[in-house]
């Protein structure tokens, strides 16, 4: 999408004309089943892209001691930086008509390829300093307050010398292999399956997954309005442990759960003599292929404002690892698009208010309480709401529900997503903004004004604040800060380069990629049909949306 036209952005999550029909001439090789844990995708390097693999570096680590100590210890407090340039008014709509559906689908994409912010064991605490009289976290001006921050888990065999600096671990596969839907282990997906007709278990209505009565290890954080952890059996059993975090993410989990069952029913109808396992694996292959197509060729062009280069075939020697600069900085640009609430619309497109009379479901009131939302809302209402709701403006501002109230209101947890983003880059030893630009073959910026002349002309007070915090030397600026400052109507030059590099590698390194004709999973006609499948097709086929 050259230039990111509004029409294509609108088409991404609102309209389309294709429907995934049955595969008339399915040809399937049962000689190899793609593993859930990511192993043996690359036959020469079987561990590449697998669960618990190392994150990848495209730049040298910049730990304070060259080994493991957090980078940027001479830089301002992340909370101070967040307050300085990520605070702003909620409700400023996207300049490019990006939808809330696009904003929240970004969390699905992130969950699909990376989970690398979870605490290690034992937990390493490195709290974020809060200034005295902070308007949210120290209203009584007592001082001495901090935001809890846990350093990410890492390979314990690293971080012992400059020759082996700390290497963080990715807890999921880096492949776009449907791990968000199917999990990363055989045991987990077994708990989700009926072992009849290739389908997932569902409740009596057939529209929702079963609850987690088997106590699969889903993430189960305290519910803000209850102030304690509730039973894990209240959660929906889905493939990603984070699926129940918020209503939007849970909606996507349920949508793709239904999508699998829809495809499985079609495969079963076409091949009544196939076993449950054959139907399940074929449906899985089709679902993964459609997910790959949607992410690479629909979501990313809408998110970035430009298309990726054409597919050039499978490359055995390309590493699929997720880079630190992608995970801790560049792809977190999407946080600025997140709205503070989610609208719901009924079948006649009328807005549906909450029981309290509010027009939207506020995120801050529903963290880790999404199951209750689904008992009072339908998937269709949430999808209709998000497709017709604008995302927040593409700028440096994060809405208050994630900047001040993550995860919960009433100062329940004192967590600021903007500050956490900055801190995660330092935790991972990510170099400064200018150093990363050099490694991505972009010219260094010599002054603040060069980063974004238009922004600083419009907001001279922001320039003054940043100069006061960092000084005039822009060679010691956090990557997340510098990259966000480049933003105009989408990710800036550096973040765009990082994101494109990451997804091009994921595509060309994947032996099971749907466009790789050599793997004999799909015929050329089937590949072309998959290319026509959009997010709209998934919604209208898996949800009762007309």
Annotated binding site: 335
112 contact partners, CB below 8 Å, separation of at least 6: 172, 176, 178, 179, 180, 291, 295
d(CA 357, CA 349): 18
Instruction: Judge contact between 38 and 51, C-beta under 8 A.
Output: yes
Instruction: Judge contact between 42 and 48, C-beta under 8 A.
Output: yes
Going by the annotation, the residues of the binding site for heme b are 335
Helices (H), 156-275: 179-182, 186-192, 247-270
d(CA 513, CA 263): 19
51 contact partners, CB below 8 Å, separation of at least 6: 37, 38, 170, 171, 172, 173, 184, 185
379 contact partners, CB below 8 Å, separation of at least 6: 207, 251, 254, 255, 258, 543
d(CA 284, CA 292): 12
Q: How far apart are the first and last CA of the chain?
A: 27
Instruction: Judge contact between 185 and 177, C-beta under 8 A.
Output: no
Burial 354-378 (b: 16+ CB within 10 A, else e): beeeeebbbbbbbbbbbbebbeebb
Provide the β-strand partners of residue 323: 56
d(CA 198, CA 279): 5
* Alpha-carbon dihedral angle through residues 356, 14, 283, 310, given to the nearest 10 degrees: -140
d(CA 226, CA 265): 40
């Amino acid at each position: 999408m050259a230039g990111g036209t509004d029409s294509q952005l609108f088409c991404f999550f609102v309209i389309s004309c294709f429907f995934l029909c049955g595969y008339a001439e399915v040809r399937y090789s049962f000689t190899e089943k793609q593993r859930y844990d990511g192993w043996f995708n690359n036959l020469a390097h079987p561990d590449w892209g697998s669960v618990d693999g190392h994150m990848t570096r495209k730049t040298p680590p910049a730990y304070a001691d060259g080994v493991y100590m957090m980078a940027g210890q001479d830089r301002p407090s992340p909370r101070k930086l967040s307050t300085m340039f990520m605070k702003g008014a909620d409700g400023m709509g996207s300049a490019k008509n990006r939808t809330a559906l696009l904003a929240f689908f970004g969390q699905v994409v992130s969950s699909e390829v990376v989970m690398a912010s979870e605490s290690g064991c034992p937990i390493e605490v490195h709290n974020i300093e809060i200034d005295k009289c902070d308007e949210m976290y120290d209203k009584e001006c007592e001082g001495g307050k901090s935001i809890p921050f846990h350093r990410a888990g890492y390979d314990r065999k690293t971080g012992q010398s400059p020759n082996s600096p700390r290497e963080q671990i990715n807890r999921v596969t880096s492949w776009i292999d449907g791990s968000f839907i199917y999990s990363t282990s055989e045991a987990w997906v077994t708990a989700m399956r009926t072992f009849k007709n290739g389908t997932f278990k569902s409740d009596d209505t057939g529209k929702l997954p079963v609850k987690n009565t088997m106590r699969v290890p889903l993430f189960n954080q305290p519910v803000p309005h209850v102030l304690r952890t509730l039973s894990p059996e209240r959660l929906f059993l889905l493939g990603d442990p984070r699926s129940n975090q918020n209503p939007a993410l849970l909606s996507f989990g349920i949508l793709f759960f239904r999508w699998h069952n829809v495809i499985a029913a079609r495969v079963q109808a076409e091949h009544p003599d196939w076993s449950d396992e054959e139907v399940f694996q074929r449906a899985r292959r089709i679902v993964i292929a459609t997910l790959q197509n949607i992410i690479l060729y629909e979501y990313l062009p809408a998110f970035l404002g430009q298309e990726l280069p054409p597919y050039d075939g499978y490359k055995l020697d390309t590493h699929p690892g997720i880079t630190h600069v992608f995970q801790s900085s560049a792809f977190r640009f999407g946080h600025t698009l997140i709205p503070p609430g989610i609208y719901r619309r009924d079948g006649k497109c009328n807005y549906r208010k909450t029981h309290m009379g509010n027009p939207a479901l506020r995120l801050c009131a529903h963290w880790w309480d999404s199951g209750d939302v689904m008992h009072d809302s339908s998937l269709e209402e949430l999808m209709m709401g998000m497709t017709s709701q604008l995302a927040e403006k593409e700028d440096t501002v994060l809405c208050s529900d994630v900047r001040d109230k993550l995860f919960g209101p009433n100062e329940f947890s004192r967590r600021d997503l903007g500050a956490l983003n900055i801190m995660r880059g330092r935790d991972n030893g990510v170099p400064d903004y200018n150093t990363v630009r050099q490694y991505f073959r972009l010219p260094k910026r010599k002054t603040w004004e060069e980063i974004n002349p238009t922004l600083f002309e419009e907001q001279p007070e922001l320039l003054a604040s940043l100069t006061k915090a960092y000084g005039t030397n822009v060679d010691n600026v956090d990557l997340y800060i510098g990259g966000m400052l480049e933003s105009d109507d989408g990710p800036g030059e550096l973040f765009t380069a990082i994101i494109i590099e990451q997804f091009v590698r994921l595509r060309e390194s994947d032996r099971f990629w749907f466009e790789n004709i050599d793997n004999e999973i799909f015929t050329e006609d089937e590949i072309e049909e998959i290319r026509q499948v959009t997010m709209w097709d998934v919604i209208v086929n898996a949800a009762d949306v007309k």
